[in-house]
Structure 1
Amino acid sequence: MSPDPARPGELRDDDHYTAELYRAAIGPVNTAYYLPLFAQWELEQRRQTRWNWAAALVTLDWLIFRKMGLHAMAYLGAVAASVLLVIYLGTAWMGFSSPALWGLSASIVLIAVVVPGLLGNRWFQAACNKNMTAALRTNTDVARACEALEHYASRRQRGIVIAAVHSAGLLVLGLVATQFAEFSQRASVRPGPAANNLSPQMASGLVMQSASAPFPVPVPVPVPVPVARAPASAASAATSAPSVKNPALAAKASAGYLINVGLFAVARNAQAAKEKLEAQKLPVTTDTLEMPGGPRVRVRCGPFDTKEQAQAAAVKIRALGLEAVFSRP
């Protein structure tokens, strides 16, 4: 017949003091797993490696639950340093390709899982030994030391709180990542504020200056009156007249309302903006302007016959996340 299990602060006659101290230091969570392992290590004076799934898969939570704060900070610092090192070496210095970066990232994840899984039991035993030594120094007998250790040991309520905080943190990170992805997608079609070396005031001035007279009105060339004694002048007048091609159409185009969408240093961004506008059935024109900072692709909508049509188009343009600046008709 097996003896009754020991209650907190009591010792069984057939139980070793060290095992009782371990039982109190481990606490009520997973005692059946850790106590035989630690007792075996004490008897054999050697530590056989055994895999710990909790330490491997939820390392940070497991370290916090077992109140190993220094181990948690060291683990978090090592992972963060490894990630930053890979990003700096892989992108800024070495220029690794995407498959190489994925391979390095997978290696970091593998190491972050395997090392705690193999060494987690040893870390926890060392922490228990440290707590046991401190309890024996501050208490006169083993029973009181066990009471102190049981009071300090982690309980299931602590694990529930840690899991809830972890889940909430992951949810917040997911929301932040989603918002950042949407912001990046919108910003990809906007001209960057630092697209050229000009100040914002100068850049806006250039935009308005270039857009204020997109279609210059051609000046009619006076037709010379033919004289009877100079028939050649009539021929020259006939050849000079075609230099003004469709002056009525040109005047109509210049009199319409135009909307400047933006100046793009990257042609790909200009093409993306143009495709968005065309998808809304808006008339789009693009041209290239030479500027001190390099060529810029200008994207415009129009011309529109009335101001109301231009304003309605501007509403659609701004709904796409693009700029809409009117030019004077």
Structure 2
Amino acid sequence: MPPGTEALYRAALGPAGALAYLPFFTRFEASGRSGVVWSTRAAVGHLAWLVYWRLWDAVLALASLAVAGAGALGWLWTHADAVPTGVRVGLTVTVAVLWCALPGLWGVAWLHAGLRQRAKLAVEEADTFKEALERLERSENAWRLRGLGAAGAVALAVALLAGVVWQLWRVPVAAGESASAPPRPTQSPVASPAAVPSPVAAQPAPSRPEPEPDLEPVIEHPVASPAAAPGPAAPEAPGIRPRPRGFGVNVGMFAVAGNAERVKARLAEAGLPVLDDPVESARGTLTRIRVGPFEQREQAEAAAKTVRTLGLEARVYAP
């Protein structure tokens, strides 16, 4: 690199920047063009790094790409129910990696082009070469503290926006996950002998509403103590869990009611019998979607195949 050109770059970069980036600039000047080199600082700092070096065109371009990518991923997670969860996760990771890789690979080239333009303007506006160097040094020193503050603000804003986006997507992501196996009913707690009703008293009264036609209740009766005297009928004991009578297909559990309704409508349009029931969880009430029941496993397997053709997950369970 000619001594004059190197002096201009040193003045624009400052001591720390010259130590980190001047070797790359030497290669670019020797080859006559900027090239692709990896910079961890540019990849990790991203928009904050670009703001610090005042590369405003690159800041605007990457910010626009970030908004477009976030919007596309938001639509993918909230509306594209037919796309499997694994595919959506893979696309999200790919977009995040590419977003960080762009400044990591091209950031130094953008910095070289930007500083070259600044050095050219300084030389054109100054009367002497020494004055051009002083202009570049003053500009770099005046912006250093403000650039650090602006870079910190941008990094904080990006972190806050990422947190907001994650909170907005967390429920749709959980809604798209299918249950790996049908939930196992929990056993009812053991009651004290004085509070245990007799088996006859624990039977549901005839006036109680019957369960859904496709489910039958499984009632767990505790053993009555011999010393306990028969008393009046007590409320129904806990432990009633709906259990399908035959084979069926687990489709998934959904936290968003709208997603569950869309899946039910698609299954019904395909001519499949749909079961849905609420399930309490730490995240709140979920909606479990199943297909069935069927008397034979072959019928459940055929239904599962139809469910998979709709782009949904399907798992056959036995009675």
TM-score bracket for the superposition, by shorter chain length: 0.3 to 0.5
So what's the TM-score if we normalise by structure 2?
Answer: 0.47
Normalised by the length of structure 1, the TM-score is 0.46
Structure with the largest fraction of helix: 1
Highest Rg: 1 or 2?
A: 1
